[in-house]
Amino acid sequence: MAAAEARGAWCVPCLVSLDTLQEVCRKEKLTCKSIGITKRNLNNYEVEYLCDYKVVKDMEYYLVKWKGWPDSTNTWEPLQNLKCPLLLQQFSNDKHNYLSQVKKGKAITLDNNKALKPAIAEYIVKKAKQRIALQRWQDELNRRKNHTGMIFVENTVDLEGPPSDFYYINEYKPTPGISLVNEATFGCSCTDCFFEKCCPAEAGVLLAYNKNQQIKIPPGTPIYECNSRCQCGPDCPNRIVQKGTQYSLCIFRTSNGCGWGVKTLVKIKRMSFVMEYVGEVITSEEAERRGQLYDNKGITYLFDLDYESDEFTVDAARYGNVSHFVNHSCDPNLQVFNVFIDNLDTRLPRIALFSTRTINAGEELTFDYQMKGSGDISSDSIDYGPAKKRVRTVCKCGAVTCRGYLN
């Protein structure tokens, strides 16, 4: 690689992970600035995680995986030489978590040779690799997001890692043949949109927000925010959804069998904007086709854009934002609203989720998958909510008012 750099810049597509490339470089004693391996750090050793544990002559040893080095270079190091208190604590926590999952009669940590049981060591390595993978995914999500709130990822339940076929986006992704005109035809000239005749009035509806930036209109009423043609500035009280999520949220692994979920890390006041529901915009016909495939997998990511018509659907299965991971509840704390900003095509509203009550820090966020932008959840209608479903899916929300099924 160093020779290649000397001859001139060139590159080829590579599907190998950065870690693997670094390991190859160090093993072959090559340098490559593009992946962070230089002559200065070629022989550096940093503890990436701890793999195993044993006691020899009353001295404790840990098997160390060195960052950027292949497993073949792992070495046993005495505890007194390790200056990584966080990794030591994680090793201890993972060991205790494993033991808590096995029967008391089998909870023997060391074998006769005072070495850690192989099953325990294997579990600890898997948790360490999972932790690294989730941290990288968290970093990627925060690089891709365009809103203020931070995104965190947490899994203390199982060994599930990041989803393999999910791509983070910040706005609708139209499929071929669908055009999103993101330029309004008119805008306001208000000096104070809260008191003057503004965009909502032009659309024949009320201003959606009060002075505390809380929604004051009933479900089913559309939100018309100021757009790029308006003369008001970014502090306009009618620019809320377009500013994106303001709260730090955590994608976490649920313990009730619902897979991933989303919880807030800060208190959210009632009637506040929380997030948008985004994904691929597809036709109703395509949604019907994909819906049959999703039925067989038991997943629900289709959201019909049926504010005035039923021509388009949002599919957040592969492309989406944090809302992709929000679970259903028959007693939700989020409410759906249709929003129009730069695109005023009533067939293609943006979908915004607002809090229905005060949501405390650490509480899971949920919305009703059968809820339309109109606020209607009548069982008389079949094609509402995210996903037209043909196979009844059992609901696991646990609410007192649970209907028993997602559809």
Residues in the annotated binding site for Zn(2+): 188, 190, 193, 198-199, 226, 230, 232, 236, 330, 395, 397, 402
Tabulate helix, strand, coil % of the chain (nearest 5): 25, 20, 55
Work out whether strand 319-320 and strand 75-78 pair parallel, antiparallel, or are unpaired. unpaired
DSSP-assigned states of every residue in 56-97 = ETTEEEEEEEETTS-GGG-EEEEGGG---HHHHHHHHHHHHH
d(CA 385, CA 222): 16
What are the backbone angles phi and psi of residue 331, rounded to the nearest 5°?
-130, 70
Q: How many CA atoms lie within 13 A of 44 on its CB side?
A: 14
Is 277 assigned a catalytic role? yes
Angle at CA of residue 155, ends 151 and 160, nearest 5°: 110
In contact, 109 and 99? CB cutoff 8 Å: yes
Q: Which residues on adjacent β-strands are paired with residue 115?
A: 54
**β-bridge partners, 313:** 282, 304
Distance CA 353, CA 274 (A): 6
What is the CB-side half-sphere exposure of residue 316 using CA atoms within 13 A?
27
Output the six-digit token pair for 329.
Answer: 């509840």
- Other C-beta atoms lying within 10 Å of the C-beta of residue 104: 7
Q: Which of 62, 247, 277, 384 is catalytic?
A: 277
Report residue 247 as tokens. 């709260």
- 350-355 vs 334-340, strand pairing mode: antiparallel
Catalytic residue check, 172: no
Separation of first and last alpha carbons in the chain: 56
For residues 215 and 111, what is the distance between their CA atoms, to the nearest angstrom?
Answer: 62
What is the identity of the amino acid at 312? F
C-alpha dihedral over 172, 177, 181, 182, to 10 degrees? Answer: 20
Q: Which helix H or strand E contains 291, and what residues bound it?
A: helix 284-297
Active-site residue list: 277, 369
